[in-house]
């Protein structure tokens, strides 16, 4: 039974406690996190109506960056102005950062112990299946016609056979989308993304007919002020890095690299993984391919946005920069993890706080949305390439000249069936595969 009267508007302290709770329980990747927010904010607390929630979500889906964290920032901003958005977005990330710094240190210090080695032996094949599931999930949503399938196929060939850099692939897909929007508008029109609002849970604080508050209305002066503040928050730490350690230092390179990554993550965290691999693993050598897979597994099993895997990348890359000393290396890793988190998420706050009203006003403009449709299609091909890359390292750890690891292949197949056929939750699949990997390693020691 729905209520005809709206609940009392939450205070900033009530919102703070909710966003902190959300940051600690937001498991399950973007889909799970968005589902939790819908249940809590739309159905239970009625802080925002179904239609307004989907309106905000569709806007966040158009932006680069983690859509669940941006959605939290958007709703926090809508409720309590800029400070509410900052609180919501920051608390969505901070618990995950602290936990990943701790887990990354344990991984570096004890990852070669038989217990952890066995667990990660089972987790690596699960990660391969998870990435394959991501390609399937995004593909079923994004590839609605032959033109979009063609863009996805071209992106796969570009990265797999031609080994073109990810930014070039994104640019080509955006151009294809723009041209498609002009000459084939029906093929590149966004189909609602997450569907129309069908349910009503009673009157909400921010209801369907509630007019946008004054701070949510577009003003050029406010846009310039927030954009300038964001630029200053980027320039200040970058200038500090340049003046203290120089441009070539890994800290500075991480800051610059993850700034670029934050601006290219159309399609969510899985879209940025190929770019992070190309840079962090292949170009800079901050970590190995297998360490990258282990970091993705840790990101899948901790709360917060999946893109927080960048904190693991930063920690591992920074860990080896410190001088000798027991505390110096973990401290260097923690500094690097904090740096990459700052430079990865800062653009997301700027997009919401500065560009929200402007982009929302143009969300039905095909000239704006069609290039993003092309990019999302290309992301499917790039993620499929990443799944094949991970499978190669898991099933043929010594290369094609060596014997395949049939046990790892079996775990990967079982994980794929669990995810794609039986729709099991990712943490459950990871835990089952970890136990299977540990059992196989222990059995190998006995035999």
pLDDT digits (tens, 9 = 90+) for 131-183: 788 788 778 877 889 999 999 999 999 988 888 877 788 889 989 999 998 99
Rounded Cα distance between 85 and 393, Å, is: 41
In this prediction, residue 424 carries a pLDDT of 86
CB 410, CB 300: distance < 8 Å: no
Q: Where are the alpha helices (DSSP H) in 111-165?
A: 114-142, 146-160
Rounded Cα distance between 18 and 234, Å, is: 28
Q: How is residue 307 annotated by DSSP? A: G
**Nearest in space to 195 (alpha carbons), one of 76, 423, 38, 367:** 38
In this prediction, residue 241 carries a pLDDT of 95
Which residues share a beta bridge with 206? 48
Residue 79 has pLDDT above 70, yes or no: yes
Domain ranges (residues) in the chain: 12-189+218-446
Q: Write the CB contacts of 232 (distance below 8 Å, at least 6 apart in sequence).
A: none
In this prediction, residue 266 carries a pLDDT of 65
Rounded Cα distance between 233 and 231, Å, is: 5
Rounded Cα distance between 302 and 99, Å, is: 8
80-130, pLDDT tens digit by residue?
Answer: 999 999 999 999 999 999 989 998 998 888 777 778 778 878 888 887 888
5-26, pLDDT tens digit by residue?
Answer: 878 889 999 999 999 988 887 7
Task: Name the CA dihedral angle for 398, 401, 406, 412, rounded to a multiple of 10 degrees.
Answer: 60
Rounded Cα distance between 358 and 200, Å, is: 28
In this prediction, residue 193 carries a pLDDT of 41
Scan for tokens 């590839």, then name that residue: 143
Please count the helices (runs of H) and the strands (runs of E) in the chain. 16, 0
17-53, pLDDT tens digit by residue?
Answer: 999 988 887 765 666 677 778 888 988 899 998 777 8
178-219, pLDDT tens digit by residue?
Answer: 999 899 888 887 544 444 444 567 888 888 777 777 777 888
């Amino acid at each position: 039974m729905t209520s005809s009267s709206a609940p009392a508007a939450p205070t900033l302290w009530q919102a703070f406690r909710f966003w902190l709770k959300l940051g600690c329980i937001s498991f399950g990747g973007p889909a799970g996190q968005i589902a939790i927010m819908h249940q809590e904010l739309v159905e239970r607390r009625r802080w925002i109506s179904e239609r307004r929630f989907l309106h905000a979500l569709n806007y966040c889906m158009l932006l680069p960056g983690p859509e669940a964290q941006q959605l939290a920032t958007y709703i926090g901003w809508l409720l309590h102005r800029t400070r509410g958005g900052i609180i919501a977005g920051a608390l969505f990330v901070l618990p995950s950062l602290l936990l990943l710094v701790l887990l990354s240190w344990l991984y570096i210090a004890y990852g070669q112990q038989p217990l952890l080695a066995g667990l990660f032996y089972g987790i690596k094949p699960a990660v391969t299946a998870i990435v394959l599931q991501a390609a399937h999930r995004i593909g079923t949503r994004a590839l609605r016609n032959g033109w979009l399938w063609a863009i996805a196929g071209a992106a796969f060939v570009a990265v797999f056979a031609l080994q073109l850099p990810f930014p070039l692939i994104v640019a080509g897909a955006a151009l294809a989308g723009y041209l498609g929007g002009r000459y084939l508008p029906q093929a590149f029109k966004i189909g609602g993304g997450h569907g129309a609002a069908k349910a009503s849970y009673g009157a909400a604080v921010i209801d369907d007919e509630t007019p946008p508050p004054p701070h949510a209305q577009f003003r050029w002066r406010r846009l310039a002020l927030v954009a300038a503040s964001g630029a200053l928050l980027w320039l200040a730490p970058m200038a500090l890095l340049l003046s203290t350690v120089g441009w070539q230092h890994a800290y500075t390179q991480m800051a610059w690299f993850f700034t670029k990554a934050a601006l290219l993550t159309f399609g969510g965290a899985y879209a940025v993984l190929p770019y992070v691999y190309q840079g962090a693993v292949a170009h800079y050598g901050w970590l190995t391919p297998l360490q990258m897979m282990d970091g993705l597994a840790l990101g899948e099993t901790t709360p917060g946005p999946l893109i927080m895997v960048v904190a693991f990348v930063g920690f591992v890359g920074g860990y080896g920069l410190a001088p000798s000393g027991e505390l110096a290396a973990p401290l260097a890793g923690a500094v690097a993890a904090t740096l990459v988190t700052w430079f990865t998420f800062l653009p997301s706050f700027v997009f919401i706080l500065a560009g929200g009203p402007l982009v929302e006003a143009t969300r039905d403009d095909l000239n704006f949305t069609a290039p993003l449709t092309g990019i999302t299609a290309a992301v499917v091909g790039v993620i499929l390439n990443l799944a094949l890359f991970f499978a190669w390292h898991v099933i043929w750890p010594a290369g094609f000249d060596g014997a395949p690891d049939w046990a790892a292949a079996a775990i990967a197949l079982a994980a794929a069936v669990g995810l794609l056929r039986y729709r099991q939750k990712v943490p459950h699949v990871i835990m089952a595969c970890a136990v299977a990997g540990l059992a196989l390693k222990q059995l190998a020691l006995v035999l």
